[in-house]
Structure 1
């Protein structure tokens, strides 16, 4: 993504139900934006939302983007149906490894998000005084 600015989790609270969900949504949008194997319309949607040029609710209702999402889901379902038992077992192992890395990264991002702000007074950022 080449945006000058990236939205913050708080800007996703219009669609996310809590800060954790907003964090995961922003991370997912980053993944989509950077996945060259995905449909360009999906990558564009994610980049537009991340940059703040598009509202997440509007993007999720845009027919170009919803069609790309449905097409990708169809491809995923077809690929899963075509897997052999051995391939499914390998995929499960690969997913477990990937999921463990994702959880570690989420923990790191949560720690950064929740870390106390240095130079704060009374729990508030000094710039807010």
Structure 2
């Protein structure tokens, strides 16, 4: 992506059921946008939505973008159907490991996003002589 701004989770609330779903949707769009194995209309759609040039609602109403999603899903289905039993088992193991890693990352990101900041800077306490009253 170029120097365009990137949308926030809140910008996806028109299509997301809750903030967590908006977070996951933005993260999925970022993955599509950054993945070198994704190209064409699918990558374009992700970049357009992430930049805020179009909304997610508009993207899912755009036939060429929906065709690109359908095509990609068909590719994935065909690849899964053509796997041997050994390849399926290897894929399951890789997915289980990947899923654990993702859950750990998401928990860490959620803690950073939702938890108190360790870098809060506070000024001197007010009170005492600071009210203009003389004692």
TM over 0.5: yes
Cα-to-partner distance string for 1:97-116 (whole Å, 9 max, x where unaligned): 11111111211221122123
Cα-to-partner distance string for 1:16-40 (whole Å, 9 max, x where unaligned): 1111111111110000001121232
- What is the Cα deviation at residue 42 of structure 1? 0.5
Residue 63 of structure 2 corresponds to 63
Residue 38 of structure 1 corresponds to 38
Q: Which moved more, 1:86-95 or 1:36-45?
A: 36-45
Residue 20 of structure 1 corresponds to 20
**Matched positions, count:** 120
Higher helix share: 1
Residue 116 of structure 1 corresponds to 116
Q: Secondary structure at the match of 2:45?
A: helix
Residue 133 of structure 2 corresponds to none
Residues in 1 aligned to 2:44 and 2:77: alpha-carbon distance in whole angstroms: 23
Residues in 1 aligned to 2:93 and 2:28: alpha-carbon distance in whole angstroms: 21
Residues in 2 aligned to 1:2 and 1:102: alpha-carbon distance in whole angstroms: 27
**Preserved CA contact (<8 Å) 1:3 1:47:** no
Work out which of the two has the higher radius of gyration on C-alpha atoms and give 1 or 2: 2
TM-score w.r.t. the length of structure 2 is 0.82
**Preserved CA contact (<8 Å) 1:39 1:68:** no
Unaligned runs of 5+ in 1: 121-129
Cα 1:87–1:39, aligned 2, differ >3 Å: closer, same or farther? Answer: same
RMSD, aligned α-carbons:
1.5
TM-score w.r.t. the length of structure 1 is 0.86
